[in-house]
Amino acid sequence: LVANLIEKAGATRMITLDLHAPQIQGFFDIPIDHLNAVRLLSNYFSSHHIDEDLVVVSPDHGGVTRARKMADRLKAPIAIFDKP
């Protein structure tokens, strides 16, 4: 439904960031450019020397893999929230 609304609104191309499932791209009939936030953000933090007292936090268990990749790239510790 959302894909149809975006296309009906006139979008001819879409940029996404960290889709929860790659299959989501299949709902669109327009080209999708999927960006990886881990690479973009870790490069930004590193190039701006934002690395002092840095901790990468995952908001839930579903985000742990992504947060761990970010923490590894930044050589930072990781914290994980455990939602009930």
What is the C-alpha to C-alpha distance for residues 7 and 76, in angstroms, rounded to an integer?
Answer: 40
Check residue 57 and give its pLDDT: 94
Question: Out of 8, 69, 75, 83, which one is annotated catalytic?
Answer: 83
Mean pLDDT (10-residue bins), the chain, 84 residues: 91 89 88 90 92 88 90 94 82
Write out the two tokens for 10.
């006139």
Reply yes or no on whether 83 is catalytic: yes
Per-position DSSP letters for the chain, written without gaps between them: -HHHHHHHTT-S-EEEES-S-GGGGGG-SS-EEEE-HHHHHHHHHHHTT--TT--EEESSGGGHHHHHHHHHHHT--EEE----
